Amino acid sequence: MGGHKKLKIYGRLDCPSALRHIAKGNYVKYRVFFADEAAAIAAGYRPCAICMREKYLQWKQTQI
């Protein structure tokens, strides 16, 4: 799993949104990696709304 340290978001390594930002050079300095989803969640990160849509929607329901 990959993540964005500043935004506290995690997602798949092939996430189209992350890859687009990496290509522009905007994402690289905040990039972090996790062994698995449980590690990302334990670190306080939320799922990506693009590549992990269902998990994001579940997470969002818990934030209300």
- pLDDT tens-digit map of 12-56: 999 999 999 999 988 889 999 999 999 999 999 999 999 999 999
d(CA 28, CA 31): 5
Does this model's pTM top 0.85? My answer is yes
The three-state secondary structure class of 56 is helix
The three-state secondary structure class of 60 is helix
CA atoms within 13 A on the CB side of 5: 8
d(CA 23, CA 21): 5
Predicted confidence at residue 53, as pLDDT, reads 97
In 10 A of CB 7, how many CB atoms?
A: 12
Predicted confidence at residue 27, as pLDDT, reads 85
The type of residue at 4 is: H
